[in-house]
C-alpha cells in the first residue's frame, strides 16, 4: 500500500511539525509528538472545496429520525451487562482498560464464548499471545470457548480484512475483539506499535469499521501505573464506551467501572471474583467488601458509598501509632492523601484529637478507591477511635461530608445508602441532622448529628478539647 503523508503533532498544544523531535517546538513539552496521517486531496477536489466551501449535506428534523430499537445482547455475565447499561449495544465500540494481569483477556474471552453460544459469530484477535496460549486459557474457563474464531495477528489491515470475511461456517463476523490495541499497527504510519499515533489511528479505523459494518468491537488497552502515555487515555474520545478493570492483582476480586458510556450511565461498577475457572460476578458487593464485623478492633468504621446507581458498603480502617522518627508518616490507601491531611487538621482543630506526633495509616478495605466526600465522617471516626483505642459501634454506618468548621453535611441519595446499610444488618446510622429522612429503613436507628464533636461524643466518648 502506498505510504500516506504524515505529520507529527504535539498531544499537548497541537503544534505540527514535519519531523519527529523529542521536544515540541510549540510548547516545549517533552516526548509529546505523535505521528498523524494527513489526507491529501487531489488538486481538482482541493480547488472545488475552496470555491464552494464543500458540498451541502442533508438535514433531518430530530423528531423525524427513525428510531429502531435494536435489542441489546446479554452475555449472562450479569455484572458485565449491568456496567454496560443493560447489555451490549450492537455496533458499538467498547474499550476495556486496565493494568497488565488484571484479567482483561480472561473477561473478553468469556464474553466471546458466551456470545458465540448465543449464536453470534465472534472473532478474537490476539496480538499478544499465541493460539496455544489462548487455547490453554480457554480450557480453564467455565464457558465453552471452542466455537470462537481466533486470529493471531498484529497488522490492522489484515485484521480488518479478516473481520470483513465470513468465519469458517459462513456466518458474518458480528463481534470483533482486539487484544490489545497496543500491539496492532497500521502500515500507513511509521513508528512502533503502541505509540500514540499508531494507537489513535488504529482505534479510529476500528471505530469506522464498527460503524460502517455494524460490527461490535471490543478493544483491550493496557494502562501503566503512571497512567500510560500511549495508553487508552488518548482513545477515550474515540470509542463509545470505556470500561476500566481495576483492583489489586493480589486480591481475588476485580472491579469493572464504566467511565464513559454513550448508551448508559457512567460510574456504574460491576464486581467480579477471579477464580480458577475465570471471572465470576459477585452478587452482593457490600457483603464482600464488608466482611465479618463481629469482633471489630478500634479504628474501623463503615460508610455507604454510591457507585453509580448502586450503594456499596465499605469499611475504612485507620491506625494512629506513635511515630518512630522525626516526621510522622501519613499513608493513605484508597483515599486521597490530601483529603486525609485535611481531615486530620479538622479532627485536631474541631474534634480535639491531635495526631501531630503520631504516624497515621488509613485504608479502605478491599482495594476500593473512594473519591466521594461522604466517607469523611467514617474516616475521622475511625481515626479518633484509633487514637483513644476504643472501638466504634460495630454495626454503625457513618454518612457525612465534613466542612472545615467541623460541621457534618448531608450526603446525596441518602435513602438508598440507608436501605443498603439496613439490608446488610447495620443497626445504627450517624448522619447530618439537616437531612433526616422521615422514615428509617428496617430497624435502623438514625442518629442526627450537627458537628464532628457531636459524633465523637456519642461514639468514642470524648468532648472537644
Q: What is the contact surface with ligand TYD in residues (CB under 6 A)?
A: 98, 100-106, 137, 140, 274, 276-278
Identify any residues that bridge with 74 across adjacent strands, giving them in sequence order: none
Distances 237 to 36, 96, 153, 242 between C-alpha atoms, Å:
16, 14, 25, 9
* Residue number with CB closer to ligand TYD (254 or 339): 254
Question: Angle between the 452-459 and 337-351 helix axes, to the nearest 10 degrees?
Answer: 80
* Residue number with CB closer to ligand TYD (244 or 361): 244
* Residue number with CB closer to ligand TYD (8 or 218): 218
* Residue number with CB closer to ligand TYD (134 or 421): 134
Distances 412 to 200, 373, 400, 436 between C-alpha atoms, Å:
38, 10, 9, 12
The distance of closest approach from Cβ of residue 252 to ligand TYD in the complex, given in angstroms and rounded to an integer, is 8
Count the residues of the shown chain that bind Mg ion, applying the rule CB under 5 A: 1
* Residue number with CB closer to ligand TYD (79 or 407): 79
The distance of closest approach from Cβ of residue 128 to Mg ion in the complex, given in angstroms and rounded to an integer, is 6
Residue closest to 269 by CA, chosen among 375, 369, 141 = 369
Q: Which does 11 bind (CB under 5 to 8 A by kind): ligand TYD, Mg ion, none?
A: none
Binding status of residue 234 toward Mg ion by CB under 5 A: no
Q: Which does 106 bind (CB under 5 to 8 A by kind): ligand TYD, Mg ion, none?
A: ligand TYD
* Residue number with CB closer to ligand TYD (103 or 285): 103
Q: Which stretch binds Mg ion (CB under 5 A): 28-36, 65-73, 104-112, 258-266?
A: 104-112
Determine the Cα–Cα distance for residues 179 and 206; give it in Å rounded to an integer: 13
* Residue number with CB closer to ligand TYD (102 or 375): 102
- Determine which residue in the list 11, 75, 92, 105 makes contact with Mg ion, applying CB under 5 A: 105
Q: Which does 102 bind (CB under 5 to 8 A by kind): Mg ion, ligand TYD, none?
A: ligand TYD
The distance of closest approach from Cβ of residue 250 to ligand TYD in the complex, given in angstroms and rounded to an integer, is 11
* Residue number with CB closer to Mg ion (105 or 216): 105
* Residue number with CB closer to Mg ion (191 or 221): 221
The distance of closest approach from Cβ of residue 100 to Mg ion in the complex, given in angstroms and rounded to an integer, is 7
What are residue 396's phi and psi, to 5 degrees? -110, 145
The distance of closest approach from Cβ of residue 127 to ligand TYD in the complex, given in angstroms and rounded to an integer, is 12
Q: Which does 309 bind (CB under 5 to 8 A by kind): Mg ion, ligand TYD, none?
A: none
The distance of closest approach from Cβ of residue 178 to ligand TYD in the complex, given in angstroms and rounded to an integer, is 12
Binding status of residue 182 toward Mg ion by CB under 5 A: no
Question: Angle between the 337-351 and 376-388 helix axes, to the nearest 10 degrees?
Answer: 60
Phi-psi region of 33 (alpha: psi -120 to 50; beta: other; left: phi over 0): beta
Q: Which stretch binds Mg ion (CB under 5 A): 44-52, 99-107, 138-146, 222-230?
A: 99-107
The distance of closest approach from Cβ of residue 249 to ligand TYD in the complex, given in angstroms and rounded to an integer, is 7
The distance of closest approach from Cβ of residue 95 to Mg ion in the complex, given in angstroms and rounded to an integer, is 14
Q: Which stretch binds Mg ion (CB under 5 A): 61-69, 102-110, 187-195, 207-215?
A: 102-110
User: Starting from the edge strand earliest in sequence, which strands make up the sheet with 122-126, in order?
Assistant: 149-152, 122-126, 175-179, 216-222, 93-98, 241-246, 253-261, 269-275, 278-281
The distance of closest approach from Cβ of residue 104 to Mg ion in the complex, given in angstroms and rounded to an integer, is 5
Instruction: Say how many C-beta atoms besides its own lie within 10 A of residue 53's C-beta.
Output: 8
* Residue number with CB closer to Mg ion (108 or 319): 108
Nearest position to Mg ion, beta carbon? 105
Q: How many residues does the chain have?
A: 465
The distance of closest approach from Cβ of residue 133 to ligand TYD in the complex, given in angstroms and rounded to an integer, is 9
Q: Which does 278 bind (CB under 5 to 8 A by kind): Mg ion, ligand TYD, none?
A: ligand TYD
Where along the sequence are the contacts to Mg ion (CB under 5 A)?
105
Amino acid at each position: 500500500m502506498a505510504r500516506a503523508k504524515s505529520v507529527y503533532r504535539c498531544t499537548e498544544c497541537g503544534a505540527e511539525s514535519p519531523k519527529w523531535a523529542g521536544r515540541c517546538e510549540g510548547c516545549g513539552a517533552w516526548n509529546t509528538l505523535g505521528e498523524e496521517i494527513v489526507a491529501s486531496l487531489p488538486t481538482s477536489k482541493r480547488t472545488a472545496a475552496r470555491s464552494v466551501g464543500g458540498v451541502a449535506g442533508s438535514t433531518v428534523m430530530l423528531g423525524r429520525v427513525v428510531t429502531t430499537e435494536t435489542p441489546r445482547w446479554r452475555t449472562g455475565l450479569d455484572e458485565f451487562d449491568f456496567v454496560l447499561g443493560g447489555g451490549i449495544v450492537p455496533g458499538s465500540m467498547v474499550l476495556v482498560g486496565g493494568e497488565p494481569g488484571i484479567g482483561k483477556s480472561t473477561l473478553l474471552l468469556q464474553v466471546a464464548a458466551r456470545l458465540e453460544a448465543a449464536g453470534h459469530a465472534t472473532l478474537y484477535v490476539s496480538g499478544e499471545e499465541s493460539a496455544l496460549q489462548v487455547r490453554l486459557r480457554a480450557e480453564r474457563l467455565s464457558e465453552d470457548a471452542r466455537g470462537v474464531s481466533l486470529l493471531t495477528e498484529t497488522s490492522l489491515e489484515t485484521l480488518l480484512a479478516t473481520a470483513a470475511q465470513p468465519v469458517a461456517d459462513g456466518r458474518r463476523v458480528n463481534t470483533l475483539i482486539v487484544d490489545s490495541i497496543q500491539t496492532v499497527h497500521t502500515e500507513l504510519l511509521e513508528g512502533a506499535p503502541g505509540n500514540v499515533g499508531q494507537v489513535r489511528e488504529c482505534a479510529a479505523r476500528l471505530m469506522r469499521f464498527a460503524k460502517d459494518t455494524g460490527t461490535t468491537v471490543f478493544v483491550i488497552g493496557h494502562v501503566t501505573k503512571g497512567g500510560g502515555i500511549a495508553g487508552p487515555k488518548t482513545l477515550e474520545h474515540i470509542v463509545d464506551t470505556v470500561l476500566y478493570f481495576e483492583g489489586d492483582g493480589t486480591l481475588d476480586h476485580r472491579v469493572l467501572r464504566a467511565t464513559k458510556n454513550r448508551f448508559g450511565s457512567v460510574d456504574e461498577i460491576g464486581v467480579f471474583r477471579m477464580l480458577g475457572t475465570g471471572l465470576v460476578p459477585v452478587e452482593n458487593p457490600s457483603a464482600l467488601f464488608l466482611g465479618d464485623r463481629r469482633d471489630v478492633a478500634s479504628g474501623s468504621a463503615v460508610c455507604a458509598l454510591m457507585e453509580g446507581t448502586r450503594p456499596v458498603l465499605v469499611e475504612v480502617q485507620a491506625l494512629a501509632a506513635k511515630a518512630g522518627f522525626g516526621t510522622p508518616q501519613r499513608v493513605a490507601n484508597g483515599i486521597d492523601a490530601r483529603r486525609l491531611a485535611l481531615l486530620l487538621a479538622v479532627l485536631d482543630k474541631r474534634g480535639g484529637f491531635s495526631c501531630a506526633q503520631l504516624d497515621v495509616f488509613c485504608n479502605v478495605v478491599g482495594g476500593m478507591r473512594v473519591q466521594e466526600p461522604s466517607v469523611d465522617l467514617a474516616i475521622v471516626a475511625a481515626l479518633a477511635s484509633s487514637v483513644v483505642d476504643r472501638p466504634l459501634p460495630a454495626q454503625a454506618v457513618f454518612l457525612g461530608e465534613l466542612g472545615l468548621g467541623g460541621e457534618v453535611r448531608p450526603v446525596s441519595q441518602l435513602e438508598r445508602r440507608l436501605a443498603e446499610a439496613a439490608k446488610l444488618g447495620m443497626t445504627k446510622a450517624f448522619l447530618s441532622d439537616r437531612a433526616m429522612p422521615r422514615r428509617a429503613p428496617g430497624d435502623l436507628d438514625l442518629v442526627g448529628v450537627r458537628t464532628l464533636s457531636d459524633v465523637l461524643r456519642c461514639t468514642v466518648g470524648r468532648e472537644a478539647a
